[in-house]
Amino acid sequence: MKSQITIKKLQDLLIKGVQTIYVEDDISRRMWWASLEVIQKDFLSQNYKDGGIWVASPLPAFNEKKFLNQLHGWLWSPEGFPYFQNENAGFLPVNNSDKIKKDFDLVSNYKVLNLSQEDGYEPFLMIITPNFQCILSIVGEKDKKSLLMKCDEESLKLSIELMHEKLNQENYEEGVKFRNAINNLGNLNINNQFEKLFWPILSAKLANIGPNHNIQNSVKNDEKNVQITEAKLLRAISHEVRTPLATIRTLISSTLKKYKMDESMKNRLIQIDNECNEQIDRFGLIFNAAELVSNEVPSLNNLAKINLAEIFNKLSPLWNKQLNRRGISLKIDIPNQLPQILSDSEKLELMLSGLIDKNTRGLKEGSTLILELRPAGQKLKLQLKVQKLESNQKEILKKDNGSDIGPVLNWNPQTGSLQLSQNATQKLLASLGGHVTKRRDTGLTVFFPISDSK
């Protein structure tokens, strides 16, 4: 009788003979998060469209809709919440998606299986596509961890065979699906350049987010270093906040698919999922702003032509649902045939939702938020205004009464709202090609550059 295949057994086989450097838990977490971002942003994003498979534990290492829809997955995850309360929760993945998910989009292209105690709780990810493959994991004891990355043909073959055997032992039907999915990929093109590129990119990213030990003589530079340190801390906190929320969303999705329940219970779970998603997006925006503050020079290389009117039409149903729950109406005034602008589509969608949330906090029930798009010379002008229930006149958005706490956040004790500061909002919009003004007579106005017509 064959011995039981576990994820820990596979990790032990992969690490065997590898010269490793051990680090503390906190450092290994940063390495894990940075590695996931590098793999997704710099490699998987160029290779996922051809299809493929992924295997992960204890949660999906990525939650972007485009990856989950295109790739078939198998997830070994612990049952219930007790595990997520222990110290290993810091290694769980975060939903880094900048896409706004639809309220009822709960279908995921992966099978959830029960993680046993023998599998262990160290994070594990295997990605197999025709032109990109890698295995990523954290292994080791407490405060003696190592980041493991493998992409050689021998390690890939071993991992595929053991995962197939593990699925056969635990769920034969899924084992058949796994083998068929692998066979459908055909001959894999092993990218020998990946390992040469991965480690330098990861090192540069870790160096960028690491603490700054340079001694500055001027007070101005000292203050800047303090701001950067605060921003980096905020980035870490944003990760930690989004982690349990992403966990809850994953478990809700699994529960809705696995169990039959009455409509009232189903609707309540969907409502919880919606609230979690809103908070994930809100802290994702805070993370983007903190990342911008901690980097010395913002990059505008990712700006491309986009249709802002199409983004408004796509996201307006979601904005309506969110505002309606607070008794606020939304009116969008967009003329036909607007020119395209230069921006980053994914980050701009998150930014627009953040502006709506920021500028409707504290509004009374019955108010209407008005979004207007108008050409303005070589720019496109976006205005946010408020119309109260008892008046047909548009009123400008009132200035926040809160106070800034650090370089990124603003705290309003009257509403209990923690939002981006005005300075952080301006910097984040500037990185997306926009310029924001807030005047007594015009309310909040954002100008976006019109792209050159070809």
What tokens appear for 65 in the block? 């809709």
Closest to 250 in 3D by CA, of 49, 404, 76: 76
Look over the chain and give the mean of its residue pLDDT values, rounded to a whole number.
79
pLDDT exceeds cutoff 60 at 104: no
Helix (H) or strand (E) holding 380: strand 379-387
Closest to 108 in 3D by CA, of 235, 269, 4, 252: 252
Q: What is the dihedral of CA 354, 355, 361, 364, to 10 degrees?
A: -130
For 52, half-sphere exposure in the C-beta direction (CA atoms, 13 angstrom radius) is 24
CA distance 409 to 447: 23
CA distance 102 to 274: 9
- Section 151-158 average pLDDT: 93
pLDDT tens-digit map of 155-185? 999 999 999 999 999 999 999 999 999 999 9
pLDDT exceeds cutoff 60 at 108: no
- Section 250-259 average pLDDT: 87
Strand positions, DSSP E, 27-91: 52-57, 71-77
pLDDT exceeds cutoff 70 at 383: yes
Determine contact, residues 411/376, Cβ cutoff 8 Å.
no
Residue with token string 């950067």 = 228
CA distance 390 to 135: 60
CA distance 277 to 339: 31
What are the phi and psi torsion angles at 78 (to 5°)? Answer: -65, 150
**Cis peptide before 58, with omega less than 30 degrees from 0?**
yes
**CA 96 remoteness from chain centre:** 1
Domains and CATH numbers, the chain: 7-211 (no CATH), 304-449 (3.30.565.10)
Determine contact, residues 86/129, Cβ cutoff 8 Å.
no
pLDDT tens-digit map of 299-328? 555 688 899 999 999 999 989 988 988 899
User: Residues 282-302, buried b or exposed e (16+ Cβ, 10 A)?
Assistant: bbbbbbbbbbbbbeeeeeeee
Q: What is the dihedral of CA 189, 193, 194, 196, to 10 degrees?
A: 160
Q: Which amino acid is at 303?
A: L
For 20, half-sphere exposure in the C-beta direction (CA atoms, 13 angstrom radius) is 20
Share of the chain above pLDDT 90, in %: 24
- The 8-class DSSP code of residue 21 comes to -
Instruction: Identify any residues that bridge with 329 across adjacent strands, giving them in sequence order.
Output: 368
Task: Read off the pLDDT band of 416 (50, 70, 90).
Answer: low
CA dihedral for 154, 157, 160, 164, sign (positive or negative):
negative
pLDDT at 206: 80
Classified as helix, coil or strand, 153 is: helix
Residue with token string 């603003």 = 410
pLDDT tens-digit map of 363-374? 888 889 999 999
Contacts of residue 17, Cβ cutoff 8 Å, sequence gap at least 6: none
pLDDT at 165: 95
pLDDT at 156: 94
pLDDT at 230: 64
Picking from 13-22, 379-388, 395-404, which range would have the lowest pLDDT averaged per residue?
A: 395-404
CA distance 165 to 10: 11
- Section 439-452 average pLDDT: 74
Contacts of residue 188, Cβ cutoff 8 Å, sequence gap at least 6: 128, 130, 133, 156
CA distance 136 to 31: 11
What tokens appear for 55 in the block? 């295997």
CA distance 73 to 108: 9
pLDDT at 216: 39
pLDDT tens-digit map of 16-61? 888 777 888 878 888 888 888 889 888 998 888 889 999 999 877 7
pLDDT at 293: 72
What tokens appear for 127 in the block? 């990605």
125 vs 355, residue with greater confidence: 125
- Section 329-353 average pLDDT: 88
pLDDT at 72: 92
Q: Is the pTM here over 0.85, yes or no?
A: no
For 373, half-sphere exposure in the C-beta direction (CA atoms, 13 angstrom radius) is 22
DSSP secondary structure of 94-127: -----SPPPTT----SEEEEEPPGGG-SS-EEEE
CA distance 111 to 238: 28
